[in-house]
């Protein structure tokens, strides 16, 4: 079955980026001239996704506004002959069929995903975490979709993280199947003791899930941090049916932390068609003073 639906959870509190995220959702933080979430929507669309559900909560209405038309602004831009920016403003409203639902209480990523049940129905679907931007030629989400089509199992986007960082992520039990694809049969969320670490491979930012995940989420008890963890539900899937993991290509930026935000902004600015050259010259001068 062709995967055409994606869910973007964007209902977290973003406490690591306060006070910037007090009134502004972290998903709307700009990476040069587009909000982070637009890069994520564009990645999904490039991977063949046509229908996207964004999970929001109170105070995140501007995400909805961003993917809407703005007639007054569009008229002003076109009457002033600003064709290029007009096209860009209109295009964000035409990327895909975008739907919104609110997670009424912040009870964790697993709980957020369960809010997508009626949108998803009985189909496999992609999940793109709203604060993980992945830049690359081959959209990461598309790499996972291809693995789903090949193996018929839920797929995790995986990367190795450092020993020091693994306690903040999940740790996966993996075995190589071919190239950058692994079989995953077990996982632990935020391992705190060395003996809990299954490998340094961790789930980062993307997955493709079968619809069975919703029944599993229904009986998943709150885990780490008292939240309903998606990892706990995926663990059940991995232990029973097995899952695969794709060590995806592409550069991931964690927009949920300050350093990740700055890395995304600097590296994207360097490649930007309008300001790239000037920014590089500025950065070289600045680097001399460091
Ligand atoms: P995080 O673990 O980064 O949580 O969520 P957070 O609340 O956004 O950030 P901090 O830790 O307070 O700084 C990972 C993804 O899951 C979504 C977030 O929006 C993010 O995309 N999420 C998390 C929800 O949609 N709902 C939740 O209840 C929790």
- Is pLDDT above 80 for 126? yes
Report CA(112)–ligand 1 centroid distance (Å).
9
Which domains are present in the chain? 5-287 (3.90.550.10)
Residue nearest to atom 16 of ligand 1 (CA): 109
Quick one: average pLDDT of 67-85? 91
Give the Å distances, CA to CA, from 155 to 148, 185, 242, 265, 281.
6, 12, 9, 29, 42
- Is pLDDT above 90 for 91? no
Ligand 1 atom at minimum distance from 131 CA: 21
The whole-number pLDDT of residue 212 equals 97
What's the whole-number average pLDDT of the chain?
A: 95
Percent of the chain at pLDDT > 90 equals 89
Q: Which residues of 260-269 are buried (b: 16+ CB within 10 A; e: fewer)?
A: bbebbbeebb
Residue nearest to atom 6 of ligand 1 (CA): 12
The structure's pTM equals 0.95
The whole-number pLDDT of residue 106 equals 94
> For the ranges 75-79, 107-111, 144-148, 233-237, which has the lowest average pLDDT?
75-79
pLDDT band for 224, please (50, 70, 90 cuts). Answer: confident
Ligand 1 near 11 CB (within 6 A): yes
Quick one: average pLDDT of 43-60? 95
C-alpha torsion sign, points 175, 178, 181, 185: negative
> For the ranges 44-53, 185-194, 268-277, which has the lowest average pLDDT?
185-194
- Is pLDDT above 80 for 1? no
Give the Å distances, CA to CA, from 245 to 16, 115, 139, 143, 273.
27, 24, 15, 10, 34
pLDDT band for 50, please (50, 70, 90 cuts). Answer: very high
Report CA(147)–ligand 1 centroid distance (Å).
26
Report CA(275)–ligand 1 centroid distance (Å).
32
Q: Which residues pair with 244 in a beta bridge?
A: 155, 183
Ligand 1 atom at minimum distance from 107 CA: 28
Percent of the chain at pLDDT > 70 equals 100
Pocket test for ligand 1, best of 35, 168, 203, 256 (most atoms within 8 A of CB): 256
Report CA(109)–ligand 1 centroid distance (Å).
6
pLDDT 10s digits, 227-254: 999 999 999 999 999 999 999 999 999 9
Quick one: average pLDDT of 53-72? 93
Ligand 1 near 40 CB (within 6 A): no
Ligand 1 near 109 CB (within 6 A): yes
Give the Å distances, CA to CA, from 247 to 171, 202, 252, 256.
14, 10, 12, 21
């Amino acid at each position: 079955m062709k995967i055409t639906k994606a869910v973007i959870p964007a209902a977290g509190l973003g406490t690591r980026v306060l006070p910037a995220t007090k009134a502004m959702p972290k998903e709307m933080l700009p990476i040069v001239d587009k909000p982070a979430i637009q890069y994520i929507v564009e990645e999904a669309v490039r991977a063949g996704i046509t229908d996207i559900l964004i999970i929001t909560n109170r105070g995140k209405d501007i995400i909805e506004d961003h993917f809407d038309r703005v007639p007054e602004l569009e008229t002003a831009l076109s009457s002033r002959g600003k064709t290029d920016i007009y096209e860009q403003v209109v295009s964000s409203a035409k990327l895909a069929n975008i739907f919104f639902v609110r997670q009424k209480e912040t009870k964790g990523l697993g709980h957020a995903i369960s809010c997508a049940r009626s949108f998803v129905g009985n189909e496999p679907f992609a999940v793109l975490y709203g604060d993980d931007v992945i830049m690359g030629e081959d959209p990461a989400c598309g790499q996972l979709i291809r693995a789903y089509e090949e193996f018929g199992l839920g797929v995790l986007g995986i990367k190795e993280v450092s020993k020091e960082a693994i306690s903040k992520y999940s740790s996966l039990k993996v075995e190589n199947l071919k190239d950058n694809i692994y079989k995953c049969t077990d996982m632990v969320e935020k391992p705190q003791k060395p003996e809990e670490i299954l490998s340094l491979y961790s789930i980062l930012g993307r997955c493709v899930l079968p619809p069975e995940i919703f029944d599993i989420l229904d009986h998943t008890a709150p885990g780490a941090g008292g939240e309903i963890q998606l990892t706990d539900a995926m663990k059940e899937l991995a232990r029973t049916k097995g899952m695969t993991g794709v060590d995806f290509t592409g550069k991931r930026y964690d927009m949920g932390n300050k350093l990740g935000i700055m890395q995304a902004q600097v590296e994207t600015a360097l490649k930007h068609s309008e300001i790239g050259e000037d920014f590089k010259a500025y950065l070289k001068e600045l680097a001399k003073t460091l």
